[in-house]
Amino acid sequence: MNIAYLVNTYPQPSHSFIRREIQALERRGIAVHRFAMRGARARLVDPGDLAEDDRTEHVLSAGAPRLAFDTLAQIARAPGRSLAALRLAIATGRRAERGVSRHLVYFVEACHVVARCRALGIDHLHAHFGTNSASVAMLARLLGGPAYSFTVHGPEEFDAPVALSLGDKMRHAAFTVAISSFGRSQLCRWSDLDGWARIKVVHCGVEPARFATPAPIPAGPETRLVAIGRLVEQKGQLLLVEAMAHALREHPALRLTLVGDGELRGPIEAAITARGLTGRVTITGWVDEARVRDELAAAHALVMPSFAEGLPMVVMEAMAAGRPVIATAIAGVPELVVPGETGWLVPAGDPEALARAMVALAGTPRDRLAAMGAAGRARPLDRHDIDREAGRLAELMGAVPAVGHMPEVASPPTIDAVA
């Protein structure tokens, strides 16, 4: 099987799970071509991401003349399908926040992707995220390209299912992937009942070999917490700084490291200074995967204060590393974190509850934290082994009828979304 992956911006520091999934498919002997609309090389620090960037074909790097040529060639080759895809692009653009003009760009990108898939002999196209990458995959299919599927992560897709035309994307896809049972439930809301069977759960995965020997829980008087993720509103780091200020009143030996970077770094640094937490809360910026594992090894627990999530990779990795987790009880998180056994769950948006959990963790004996970490390891290693999950994805792709590229039709097909 010869497949292609399609992502908006790839690789990115926060999307290493896509790289792991692709590499797991390749270990199964499946050829995978990487498409991305654009790259983010300036932000990459991990050697694996840099190598992946070299292997990725960035669509917009083809240049305007090539994109225009492929668009005109597509229209000449299949005018009926081109008209159908153009109609759908306009209809979905009218619903979207970014408007029709952006969706016309997606149409042009889809024309180029179809040409490249034809040249490469791609059998199946898989997109990550139900946003513009899934739009391009859907339009490419209508243009005569290969069958497609896409993985929905959330929370962005669940925040704006109508604006993203999520129902249309699922209807035209061979199948849709959710990364948790919660995610599947949200997709069922935007699918007809007869489409539920084509909504599958395939977890994001960890590589168990990387977590074969968990580091012991650190000794010493300090209790170190680590939070890992983009510094953006939905991740809740500003609330975490507030909770840290509360918790330090009862347990002054707490220390917190924020691993990541993003648009809220300035406000978070200002909040740290304003609350007198300089030296107690530090920000690393983007780091490579080895540094992330080192930060987990140096911590007593992971804390995840998010307001909205899908099913965070950092929770899986922390549990695989033998660390208890303090997390908000949202989305798919309760499918991994069991209160009292593997960590603490708290209401989202409640700094006092988060602070109480941090104090409770700081007061928990080291051997009990180790036992909680050991209990937690089995869940991600059993449920999120990347080779096993990639195998499930490969089976789903392999079951899609080998219809190849769609032939031209005499007239545009009826499309419910634009009727």
Tens-level pLDDT at each residue, the chain (419 residues): 899 999 999 999 888 899 999 999 999 999 999 999 999 999 898 899 999 999 999 999 999 999 999 999 999 999 999 999 999 999 999 999 889 999 999 999 999 999 999 999 999 999 999 999 999 999 999 999 999 999 999 999 999 999 999 999 999 999 999 999 999 999 999 999 999 999 999 999 999 998 888 999 999 899 999 999 999 999 999 999 999 999 999 999 999 999 999 999 999 999 999 999 999 999 999 998 889 999 999 999 999 999 999 898 999 999 999 999 999 999 999 999 999 999 999 999 999 999 999 999 999 999 999 999 999 998 899 899 999 999 999 999 999 986 555 544 433 343 443 33
Asked whether residue 190 falls in the same domain as residue 231, the answer is: no
Residues 173 and 241 in one domain: no
Token couple for 233: 């509103």
Tell whether 24 and 133 lie within a shared domain: yes
CATH number of the CATH domain containing 52: 3.40.50.2000
Indicate if 192 and 76 belong to the same structural domain.
yes
Determine which helix (DSSP H) or strand (DSSP E) holds 328, and give its type and residue range: strand 325-328
The predicted pLDDT at position 19 comes to 96
Do 299 and 347 sit in the same domain of this protein? yes
Give residue 366's domain range.
209-383
341 and 257 part of one domain: yes
173 and 245 together in one domain: no
- With 0-12 / 13-18 / 19 or more C-beta atoms within 10 angstroms meaning exposed / middle / buried, residue 24 is buried
**Claim to verify: residue 215 and residue 86 sit in the same structural domain:** no
Please write down the long-range contacts of 136-140, taking CB distance under 8 Å and 24 or more positions apart: 136/6, 136/37, 136/106, 136/109, 136/110, 137/6, 137/110, 137/113, 137/169, 137/173, 138/88, 138/168, 138/169, 138/172, 138/173, 139/85, 139/88, 139/89, 139/106, 139/107, 139/110, 140/110, 140/113, 140/114
What pLDDT, on the 0 to 100 scale, is given for residue 75?
A: 97
In angstroms, the CA 358 to CA 355 distance is 5
Does 369 map to a domain? yes
196 shares a domain with 75: yes
Q: Are residues 31 and 64 in the same domain?
A: yes
Is the alpha carbon torsion for 268, 328, 245, 324 positive or negative?
A: negative
Distance CA 398, CA 175 (A): 12
3-state secondary structure of 77: helix
Is the separation of the CB atoms in 328 and 345 below 8 Å? Answer: yes
pLDDT of residue 349: 97
Number of domains in the chain: 2
- pLDDT of amino acid 417: 38
**331/354 Cα distance (integer angstroms):** 17
- State how far the Cα of 81 lies from the Cα of 316, in Å rounded to an integer: 43
Classify residue 231 by its DSSP letter.
-
The pLDDT assigned to 416 comes to 41
Tokens encoding 171: 């209807």
225 and 248 both lie in a single domain:
yes
Q: Are 11 and 40 in contact (CB under 8 A)?
A: yes
Q: Give the distance, in angstroms, between the CA of residue 222 and the centroid of all CA atoms in the same chain.
A: 33
Residue with tokens 């797991």: 24
- Asked whether residue 419 is domain-assigned, the answer is no
CB 412 within 8 A of CB 87: yes
